[in-house]
C-alpha cells in the first residue's frame, strides 16, 4: 500500500463530508457509480465558467479550447489503456452505448442467420440484451459460458462452445454482481485461436485494475466514466483500427460526416464516424481529471488498498448469523454480494439506509445470475478507494441491527 | 370509519414513535396483521409491478365494498402494503378511487413514494385504485 494516503483521498471527495438520515454518509454502492473528487467537480464548473462552446466546429477561440480539451481526453484514454492509436478511442455515453455500437455496427453487417455469439452467464443486462436484439433481427444465436457455484466461468466449457459459426465473443472483465475477475487474457487468446474477435465489458474493472488493451489483445473494450470517479454521461469504446474501419457509422448526424448532399453522404474518418451529434462535452473533457486523479495515486496502489479492504470486509461479514456470500471466486475485485437466511435483501437495504449506509439491493441488472443461485437478489457492498475499515466496522454494527430487527 | 378517519388514526399512532427504528418496527408489526392473500392467488396475475420485492394483492367486492388481501416476500414491504390495506379495504370503489392518501406524507413515508424501481408504495396505491375502478365497472354490468 506504500504511499496510499487514505485521509488525503477522502479529503478530495466533498460528498463524503455530508450526512444521510442524521449519520455520516457511508457509501458502499460504488459498483453503481463512484463519487467524484473535487478535481473533477472543479473541472466541470470551470468548463461552464470558462470554455462552454461546441466542439469540432467553430473557428472561434472558445470552440478551439473546448475542442482541444475534449481531444486531450482522447489522448489520456489512449495512454491510460495503452491503445495503439488515438483514433481507436470512441467517446460514447457510457458502457451500454459502447456495447450497443458493436452489436449494431459490427453485428449487423458481419453476423447473420444461424451464426453464434458467445457471452457468459455472469453478464450485466447491457451485455445480454443488445445481442438478443441482434439475434431477433438476424436469426443468430446466443451461446452462454456456464459458471460454477463460486461464480467462476467454466473455461473448458467455453472452449467447447466455439464452432465454425462463432462470430464474436463478449464478456465482462469483472462481474458487477459477484466481483469475479475473469481470466480475460486467456479467454481472448482462446477466441483468437478461432479467429473470433472479443469485446470486453470493463465497466467494473477500469477503476480497479490497470489495463493494457494491446497486451490483452482485446478487439473491443468498453467502460464508463462515472464508475471511475469521472462524470456521468461519458464512456469509451476502444476498438482495433481495422475492425472500426470495417464498420458503418452508428448514428447519422453532425460530426460524423464529410460531405452531405441529398444524393449521397460520405462519412468522416475514425473516431468521428461514431460520434454523431454534440456529445456530453463537459463530461468528455472532465474524464481527463478523473484519469489524472487515478493515475496520480496509481492503480497498483489503489488495487492493493482495495484488496486489503475486501479481505477485511469479507472476514468481518462472515460472522453474521445466516450470511451466505454469493460469488466466492478465487480472484475477486471490490464486490461483496450476500444474502442473509430468511431476510429479504430489500429489507436490509432499507434499514441500512436509515443508518446512513448506502448499499445496493436487488438483482443488479443481472437476473440470470440470481436465477442460477435461486435467489431474488442480494445485498451488494461494492468498495472504492475512499472506503475504510472503520466504515466496514460501522456496516457490521448496522447489519447486526438490521438482522436483529428483521429476523 | 371513513378512509380519512383511518388515516388520521394512523397519523396519531405514528406520531408516538420518534425514532426511525421504532417506526420501522411498527411497520413490520403491521405487516404481521395484514389479511393474507390465499396461496393460490400468489401468481403473476396478482403481483404488483414496480417493486424490488414481490407484492401480491387480491381484491374482492363484497356487499358493495372492496376487500383486499395481500402478502410480500419482504417484511418492510409487507408492512407498507398492510398500511394501505388498513386504509382502503372495506370501502366502496368510489371512495377508494377518490381517496387522497395524505397520511403517507404525514407519517414520514414519502421517501417510499418516489417513482423509482425500488419503491412499492406508489405502485400499490395505483393498483388498488385501478382494482376499485375495475370492480366498479364490473359491478355495473
CB contact under 8 A, B53 and A376: yes
- Chain A partners of B24 at a C-beta cutoff of 8 Å? 350-351, 354, 405
- Alpha helices in chain B, H assignment, sequence order: 3-15, 20-32, 75-88, 93-98, 103-106, 121-140
Would you say residue A129 has pLDDT above 90?
yes
Whether the ipTM is more than 0.90: the answer is no
pLDDT in tens, A354-371: 899 999 998 888 889 999
pLDDT band at B116; cut points 50, 70, 90: low
Question: Considering A135, A140, A286, A365, which one is annotated as catalytic?
Answer: A365
Closest partner CB to B76 (pick from A21, A350, A376): A350
Query: Is residue B141's pLDDT more than 50?
Result: no
Which chain A residues are closer than 8 Å to B53 by Cβ?
344, 346-347, 376
B contact residues 79-108, partner A, Cβ 8 Å cutoff: none
Confidence of residue B53 (pLDDT cuts 50, 70, 90): confident
User: Which of A262-266, A337-341, A360-364 has the highest average model confidence (pLDDT)?
Assistant: A337-341
What is the per-residue pLDDT across A197-228, written as a single tens digit (0 to 9) for each?
Answer: 999 999 999 999 999 999 999 999 999 999 99
Number of A/B CB contacts below 8 angstroms equals: 43
Q: How confident is the model at residue B51 (pLDDT cuts 50, 70, 90)?
A: low
Cβ B52–A361 below 8 Å, yes or no? Answer: yes
Please, what are the domains in chain A?
A: 6-30+298-406 (3.90.1150.10), 41-295 (3.40.640.10)
Tell me if A346 and B21 make a contact (CB, 8 A cut-off). Answer: no
Distance separating alpha carbons of residues A80 and A67, to the nearest angstrom: 20
**Does A271 sit behind a cis peptide bond, omega within 30 degrees of 0 on the bond before it?**
yes
For cell 414519502, the residue is B110
- Given a contact cutoff of 8 angstroms between Cβ atoms, the answer to whether B85 and B65 are in contact is no
**Interchain pair B118, A347: CB under 8 A:** no
Closest by Cβ to A405, choosing from B25, B53, B118: B25
Helix A61-81 × helix A281-297 angle, to 10°: 40
Nearest to B20 among A346, A354, A376 (CB): A354
Q: What is the pLDDT of residue A359?
A: 96
Kindly report the nearest CA distance between residue B14 and chain A, in angstroms.
17
pLDDT of B18 > 90? The answer is no
Instruction: Find where cell 449494431 sits.
Output: A104
Ordered domains of chain B (ranges, CATH) = 3-140 (3.90.1010.10)
Residue B25 C-alpha, separation from nearest chain A C-alpha, in angstroms: 7
CB distance B53–A350 less than 8 Å?
A: no
A344 touches chain B (CB under 8 A): yes
pTM for the whole thing? Answer: 0.93
Mean pLDDT in chain A? Answer: 96
Stated as kind and residue range, the H or E segment containing B62 is: strand B55-62
Model confidence band, residue B115 (pLDDT cutoffs 50, 70, 90): low
CA distance B119 to chain A (A): 10
Q: Are strands A141-145 and A116-120 parallel, antiparallel or unpaired?
A: parallel
Amino acid at each position: 500500500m506504500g504511499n496510499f494516503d487514505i485521509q488525503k483521498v477522502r479529503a478530495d471527495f466533498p460528498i463524503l463530508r455530508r450526512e444521510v438520515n442524521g449519520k455520516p454518509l457511508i457509501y458502499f454502492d460504488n459498483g453503481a457509480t463512484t463519487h467524484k473528487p473535487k478535481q473533477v467537480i472543479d473541472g466541470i464548473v470551470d468548463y461552464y465558467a470558462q470554455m462552454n462552446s461546441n466542439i469540432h466546429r467553430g473557428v472561434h477561440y472558445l470552440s478551439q479550447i473546448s475542442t482541444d480539451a475534449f481531444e486531450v481526453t482522447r489522448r489520456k484514454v489512449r495512454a491510460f489503456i495503452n491503445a495503439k492509436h488515438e483514433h481507436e478511442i470512441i467517446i460514447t455515453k457510457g458502457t451500454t452505448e459502447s456495447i450497443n455500437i458493436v452489436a449494431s455496427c459490427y453485428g449487423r453487417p458481419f453476423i447473420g442467420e444461424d451464426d453464434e455469439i458467445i457471452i457468459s452467464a455472469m453478464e450485466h443486462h447491457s451485455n445480454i440484451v443488445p445481442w438478443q436484439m441482434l439475434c431477433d433481427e438476424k436469426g443468430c444465436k446466443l451461446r452462454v459460458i456456464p459458471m460454477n457455484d463460486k461464480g467462476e466461468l467454466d473455461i473448458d466449457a467455453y472452449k467447447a462452445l466455439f464452432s465454425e459459426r462463432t462470430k464474436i465473443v463478449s464478456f465482462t472483465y469483472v462481474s458487477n454482481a459477484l466481483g469475479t475477475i475473469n481470466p480475460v487474457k486467456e479467454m481472448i487468446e482462446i477466441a483468437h485461436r478461432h479467429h473470433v474477435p472479443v469485446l470486453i465489458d470493463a465497466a467494473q474493472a477500469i477503476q480497479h485494475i490497470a489495463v493494457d488493451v494491446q497486451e490483452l489483445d482485446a478487439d473491443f473494450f468498453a467502460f464508463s466514466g462515472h464508475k471511475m470517479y469521472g462524470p456521468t454521461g461519458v464512456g469509451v469504446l476502444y476498438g482495433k483500427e481495422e475492425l472500426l474501419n470495417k464498420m458503418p457509422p452508428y448514428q447519422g448526424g453532425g460530426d460524423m460526416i464529410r460531405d452531405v448532399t441529398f444524393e449521397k453522404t460520405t462519412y468522416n474518418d475514425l473516431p468521428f464516424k461514431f460520434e454523431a451529434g454534440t456529445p456530453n462535452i463537459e463530461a468528455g473533457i472532465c474524464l481527463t481529471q478523473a484519469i489524472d486523479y487515478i493515475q496520480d495515486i496509481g492503480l497498483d496502489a489503489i488495487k492493493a488498498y482495495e484488496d486489503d479492504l475486501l479481505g477485511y470486509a469479507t472476514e468481518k461479514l462472515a460472522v453474521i448469523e445466516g450470511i451466505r456470500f454469493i460469488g466466492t471466486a478465487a480472484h475477486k475485485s471490490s464486490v461483496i454480494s450476500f444474502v442473509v437466511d430468511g431476510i429479504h435483501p430489500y429489507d436490509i437495504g432499507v434499514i441500512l439506509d436509515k443508518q446512513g449506509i448506502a448499499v445496493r439491493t436487488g438483482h443488479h441488472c443481472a437476473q440470470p445470475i440470481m436465477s442460477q443461485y435461486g435467489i431474488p437478489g442480494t445485498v451488494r457492498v461494492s468498495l472504492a478507494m475512499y472506503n475504510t475499515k472503520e466504515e466496514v466496522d460501522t456496516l457490521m454494527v448496522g447489519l447486526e441491527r438490521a438482522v436483529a430487527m428483521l429476523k | 370509519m371513513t378512509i380519512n378517519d383511518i388515516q388520521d388514526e394512523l397519523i396519531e399512532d405514528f406520531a408516538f414513535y420518534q425514532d426511525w427504528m421504532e417506526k420501522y418496527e411498527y411497520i413490520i408489526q403491521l405487516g404481521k396483521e395484514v389479511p393474507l392473500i390465499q396461496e393460490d392467488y400468489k401468481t403473476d396475475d396478482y403481483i404488483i409491478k414496480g417493486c424490488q420485492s414481490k407484492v401480491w394483492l387480491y381484491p374482492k367486492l363484497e356487499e358493495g365494498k372492496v376487500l383486499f388481501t395481500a402478502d410480500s416476500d419482504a417484511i418492510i414491504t409487507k408492512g407498507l402494503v398492510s398500511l394501505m390495506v388498513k386504509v382502503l379495504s372495506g370501502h366502496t370503489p368510489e371512495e377508494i378511487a377518490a381517496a387522497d392518501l395524505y397520511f403517507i406524507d404525514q407519517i414520514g413515508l414519502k421517501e417510499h413514494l418516489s417513482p423509482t424501481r425500488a419503491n412499492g408504495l406508489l405502485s400499490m396505491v395505483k393498483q388498488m385504485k385501478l382494482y376499485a375502478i375495475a370492480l366498479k365497472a364490473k359491478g355495473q354490468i
